[in-house]
Structure 1
Amino acid sequence: MILIDRQDFEALVREALDDLPDEFAERLDNVAVVVEEEPNPDVLRELGFDPHELDDELFGLYTGTPLSDRGVEYSGLPDKIDIYMGPILRACGSRSEVVREVKETVIHELGHHFGLEDEEMPY
């Protein structure tokens, strides 16, 4: 596990978002990307994770209506992407691993925003 403070971790998430290709970044309005320390244990159970098993970690979570499922009259609340700092830091042994994992997690959760399923994504 590597130690990175919250401010530095949030900067890594912002960098991952800033590095997105323009065609994806332009479609991210009404999406909040939030750094959380840990996922909620109830959410973990709901998703089939064991909240007490550290080998079974959740790095991020997309909550919302994917773009592919929205109609012309869609006017919902902002979608939300949670990036979980604790699980990512526990899984990584170096800063470069954290940078890579943050980028992959952000891309993965944005994939859900665009309507992709887990098996359709590179990460």
Structure 2
Amino acid sequence: MITVSRYRFGQLVDDALDTLPDELLRLLDNVVIQIADRDPDDPHLLGVYHGIALTERTHDYTFALPDTITIFREAILAICATQDEVAHEVAVTVVHEIGHHFGISEARLHELGWG
């Protein structure tokens, strides 16, 4: 497994967010992006979105805790051989999970090349 510090990995997540258009980032609503080592239930999972997608929120969506997007550092590092591969996989995973926040299905994200 390639070694990337937690700090550097966080920078890669920030870099991935910086590549997104400002118009898209402004639409993120009540969502937190965090980093963890691995998902305890599925250690091979690269990222996960927990929450209520924007397309499913109704008029009674108030006082809700933030949705979360978690990017799993060790799972990504386990499938990458180079720093460039890590940066690419982080970017794909960040966009993929943000896609779920916007209500885009798993199948559609794969069709679009973000799977």
Tell me if both proteins adopt one fold, taking TM over 0.5 as the criterion. yes
Q: What is the aligned-residue identity percentage?
A: 42
Tell me what 1:86 maps to: 74
1:43-122 maps to which residues of 2 (within 5 A)? 44=42, 51=43, 57-75=44-62, 76-121=64-109, 122=113
Structure 1 match to 2:8: 8
Residues 31-53 of structure 1 show CA distances to partners (whole Å, capped at 9, x for unaligned) of: 10000011122xx3xxxxxx5xx
Q: Which amino acid aligns with 2:10?
A: E
Q: Which aligned segments of 4 or more residues in structure 1 are displaced greater than 2 angstroms?
A: none
Q: Deviations over 1:93-119 (max 9, x none)?
A: 000000000000000000100001111
Per the alignment, residue 35 of structure 1 pairs with: 35
| 1:16-35 equivalence runs, <5 A | 16-35=16-35
Listed as ranges, the gaps of 5+ residues in structure 2 are: none
The offset of 1:29, in angstroms, is 3.0
Give unmatched runs, 5+ long, in structure 1: 45-50, 52-56
TM-score (norm 2): 0.91
Residue identity in the other structure for 2:8: D
Distance 2:45 2:28 in 1: 22
- Count of residue pairs brought into register by the alignment: 110
CA deviation profile, 1:40-69 (whole Å, cap 9, x unmatched): 22xx3xxxxxx5xxxxx1100000000000
Deviation of 1:80 after TM superposition, in Å, equals: 0.1
Deviation of 1:72 after TM superposition, in Å, equals 2.4
The one-letter amino acid paired with 2:66 is: P
Give the 3-state SS of the residue equivalent to 2:68 in structure 1: strand
Q: Distance in 2 between matches of 1:102 and 1:93?
A: 13
